[in-house]
Homo-oligomer: A and B are copies of this chain.
C-alpha cells in the first residue's frame, strides 16, 4: 500500500450503468449487502454512479437532496458549521458507508469529497419505496446506522476528553486499523500509510486548530512514534507504541 491515495480524477460524469453489482468492491459491506436475486436486480436497475474530485462539494447543508448513495471508493466528509464559521467534522464516510437519510429531502450536513470519490446513487423516492418492500435493505441500514452511532459516540469521547496528542494518535490509529481491516490483517508493528485528509480536515475532525495538529505531528515524530513522509505519508514505527499514546478505548471507531 505505498501507492498514493487513488485521487480518482474522473471526469465527474456518467460512468452510467457501470459495473455489475456482482463485481462491486463493496458488494458485501454496503446497504445492499444482504440483498440477493430479485432484490439486487431491482437495485441494479435503478443505480447510477457519480464521481467527485478531491475537494469538490457533494451536497451543501440545506440543499435539496434527491438521492441517497453508497461510497464505492474514496473518502467523503460531513461537516456542521456555526454561523460564525467554526466548523466541526461530524462524519467520515469510507467505502461502503451510506450518505443521505431515507425520508429526508434536505441535506443536514455539508458533504465534501476528501479524495476522489465514486458514489453509487439511488433516487430518493424510489429508494424509500424499496425500503418498505425489501426488509433486508431496512435491516442492513439499521445495522449500519447503529454502527455509525457507536462510532459517533467513540468520537464524542475523543472530542470531549482526549488531549491534542491523544487525538492525533487516535486518528492515525483509526486510519491504520481501517487500512489493515481492508486487507483482512490485524494492525501490528511497522505500518506505512497514507492519510486521507489534509491537516485542515484533520483539525476539523479532531476539534483542534491546524497549527496544533501540525505541532503534535512533529512532536510524535520527534518522539519516534511516527515518521512523516510527504504531506500525506505517515509510517508507524510500532503500532503498539502509537496505541499507547492514544489514551485507549480505541476498539474500533472507524466509520461514522
List A residues at the B interface (Cβ < 8 Å).
78, 80-84, 86-88, 90-91, 101, 103, 108-109, 135, 138-139, 141-143, 145-146, 148-150, 152-157, 159-162, 206-207, 247-249, 256
Contacts and interface: CB of A to CB of B under 8 A. Distances in A.
A47 to B, nearest CB: 21
A161 B87 contact: yes
Contact of A138 (B78, B109, B138, B247): B138
Copies of this chain present: 2
A24 B15 CA distance: 53
B152 A149 contact: yes
Contacts of A206: 160
Contacts of A207: 159-161
A87 B160 CA distance: 9
Given A82-B161, A90-B153, 5 more contacts: A82-B157, A83-B249, A138-B138, A149-B152, A156-B156
A162 to B, nearest CB: 8
A200 to B, nearest CB: 14
13 contacts: A80-B156, A83-B248, A86-B247, A88-B157, A90-B156, A91-B153, A108-B150, A135-B138, A145-B145, A152-B153, A156-B159, A159-B207, A160-B206
A248 B152 CA distance: 21
A160 B160 CA distance: 7
